[in-house]
Amino acid sequence: MPLPSLLRLWFALGLFLTAALPAQAQTKLETFERDRLVIETSASEKYSFEVEMALTSKQRAQGLMYRRNLDGDAGMLFIYERDTPISMWMKNTLIPLDMLFLARDGRILRIAERAVPMSLQTISSGEAVAAVLELNGGTANRLGIEAGDRVIHPALGGGS
């Protein structure tokens, strides 16, 4: 095979392989700082979670996309500079999640339970919020976490 034909073949193969790679392999994934927070229920139960902190717009856009698992005591805390209505979706998110929409003081305003992996349906906070905490799907129900309970973390008006 002449050299130019061989080069064209290698180029075409490279384009095919690049297109076949998952999106996360084609772009650099964000990294996240980790911290701990506590959820205190109205029944005075306290549950500790190690969370990744989504603080920048790029981190918030990526969130928990492409993850195949999430430890039972882990999650992601999305912090926003100002209170605003938030809409999220599950595009490229492979695991079901509970989304806890939080007031600036850490109060849980709304819980969207068991968001469906890979869904493009928007999940709305329903009102202005300061943060969103994502946990494994079913965690809120399993631990009895409800709207009105409190997330304790320094970014939410309290110590941790």
Look at the block and give the residue holding tokens 């095919």.
16
* DSSP code of residue 38: E
Say if residue 37's pLDDT is above 70: yes
Q: Does 22 reside within a domain?
A: no
Q: Does 83 reside within a domain?
A: yes
Q: Give pLDDT tens digits for 106-147.
A: 999 999 999 999 999 999 999 999 999 999 999 999 999 999
pTM for the model stands at 0.82
Q: Does 118 reside within a domain?
A: yes
Q: Does 59 reside within a domain?
A: yes
Residue 81 has which token pair? 């500079």
Q: Does 144 reside within a domain?
A: yes
Q: Does 86 reside within a domain?
A: yes
Higher-confidence residue: 25 or 60?
Answer: 60
Residue 133 has which token pair? 């905490």
Question: What are the CA-CA distances from residue 101 to residues 6, 54, 125, 130, 132 (Å)?
Answer: 56, 14, 6, 8, 5
Kindly state the average pLDDT of the residues 95-106. 98
Distance CA 30, CA 62 (A): 7
- pLDDT for 8: 57
3-state class (DSSP) for residue 108: strand
Q: Does 12 reside within a domain?
A: no
Yes or no: say if 49 and 39 are a contact pair by the CB < 8 Å rule. Answer: yes
What is the pLDDT of the chain when averaged over all its residues? 88
* DSSP code of residue 102: E
Residue 150 has which token pair? 């409190």
Question: What CATH number did the domain enclosing 86 receive?
Answer: 2.60.120.1140
Distance CA 28, CA 52 (A): 17
Print the domain residue range for 108: 29-156
What's the domain count of the chain? 1
Q: Does 100 reside within a domain?
A: yes
CA 57, 59, 62, 63 torsion-angle sign: negative
